[in-house]
Chains A and B, each alone.
Chain A
Amino acid sequence: MMKRTRQIPAGRIVSAVLIHVVLIIFAILIIYPLLYVMGSAFSPSSSLQGIGINPFPQNPTLIQFERLFNTTNYKVWYTNTLTIALMVSCATLVITSTAAYIFSRFKFMLRKQMMIAFLVFQIFPSFVGMVAIYVLLLRIGGLDTKWGLALVYIAGNIPYNTWLVKSYMDSIPKSFDEAARIDGASNFTTYRRIILPIAKPILTFLIITSFLGPWMDFIIPRMVLRSEKQLTLAVGLFQLIDGRTANNYTMFAAGALLVAIPFVFLFLIGQKSLLTALGAAGVKE
Chain B
Amino acid sequence: MDTHLRKKALLSGCLWMGLGHILYLKQQLKGALYALAQFAVLFFVAFEQTAEGLALNFNGAIVKGVRGFITLGVFNPDLPVRQRDHSIFMMIDGLICLLVLLVLAILFVLSIRNIFKITAHYKATGGELPGNRAFVRSVSEQAFPAIGLSPLVILLLFFVILPILFSFFLAFTNYSFPNNIPPANKVDWVGFKNFVDLFGGGQAMWTGALGRVLLWTLAWGVLSTGCVYFCGMFVALALLNRDIKVAPVFRSLFILPYAVPSIISLMVWSNILNGTFGPLNAILKQIGVIQTNIPWLSEIGFARFSMVFVNTWAGFPYHMLMVTSILTSISPDIFEAAGIDGASNWKRTRFITIPLVLRQTMPLVIMSFTYNINNFGAAYFLFSGAGSTRGPSAADTVATNANGIDIVVSWIYKLTMQNPQKFQYAAVLAVLVFVVLTPFAIWNYTRTKSYKESDLL
Contacts and interface: CB of A to CB of B under 8 A. Distances in A.
Interface of A: 12, 15-16, 19-20, 22-23, 26-27, 29-31, 33-34, 36-37, 47-49, 51-53, 95-96, 98-99, 101-102, 106, 108-109, 111-112, 115-116, 119-133, 135-136, 139, 151-152, 154-156, 158-159, 162, 166-167, 170, 187-188, 212, 215-219, 222-223, 234, 237-238, 241-249, 252-253, 256, 259-260, 263-264, 266-268, 271, 274-276, 278-279, 282-285
B417 to A, nearest CB: 7
Nearest to B368: A282
Contacts of A108: 142, 145-146
Given A33-B272, A98-B148, A237-B267, A22 B442 contact: no
Given A95-B151, A154-B155, A285-B363, A241 B267 contact: yes
A212 B258 CA distance: 12
B288 interface: no
Nearest to B375: A125
Q: Which of A132, A151, A247, A268 has the most CB of B within 10 A?
A: A132
Contacts, number: 291
Contacts of A256: 264, 267-268
Interface string B410-440: 0011001100000100100010011001101
Given A34-B256, A98-B148, A283-B326, A215 B261 contact: yes
Given A241-B267, A285-B363, A119 B441 contact: yes
Contacts of A247: 386
B345 interface: yes
A123 B447 CA distance: 17
B50 interface: no
A245 B448 CA distance: 50
B152 A27 contact: no
Contact of A260 (B163, B261, B359, B430): B261
B363 to A, nearest CB: 6
Interface string B384-400: 11110000000000000
20 contacts: A15-B346, A20-B244, A23-B244, A23-B250, A30-B254, A33-B272, A33-B313, A48-B387, A102-B144, A108-B146, A123-B440, A123-B441, A130-B163, A139-B89, A156-B160, A215-B261, A241-B270, A260-B264, A284-B363, A285-B362
Contacts of B278: 48
B387 A51 contact: no
Contacts of A216: 261-264
Interface string B343-372: 001100000000000011111100100100
B362 A263 contact: no
B240 to A, nearest CB: 11
Interface residues of B, number: 109
Can you list the 5 inter-chain pairs with the closest CB atoms, starting with the nearest? A129-B163, A155-B159, A132-B166, A267-B259, A16-B243
Contact of A29 (B313, B370, B434, B441): B313
Contacts of A260: 259-261, 264
Greatest chain A CB density within 10 A among B254, B325, B345 is at B325
A156 B377 CA distance: 17
Nearest to B284: A53
B156 A129 contact: no
A116 B450 CA distance: 13
B433 to A, nearest CB: 7
A276 B313 CA distance: 23
A30 B257 contact: yes
Contact of A51 (B279, B361, B433, B441): B279
A243 B325 contact: no
A241 B271 CA distance: 9
A125 B374 contact: yes
A219 to B, nearest CB: 6
B374 A102 contact: no
B265 interface: yes
Given A121-B160, A237-B267, A128 B286 contact: no
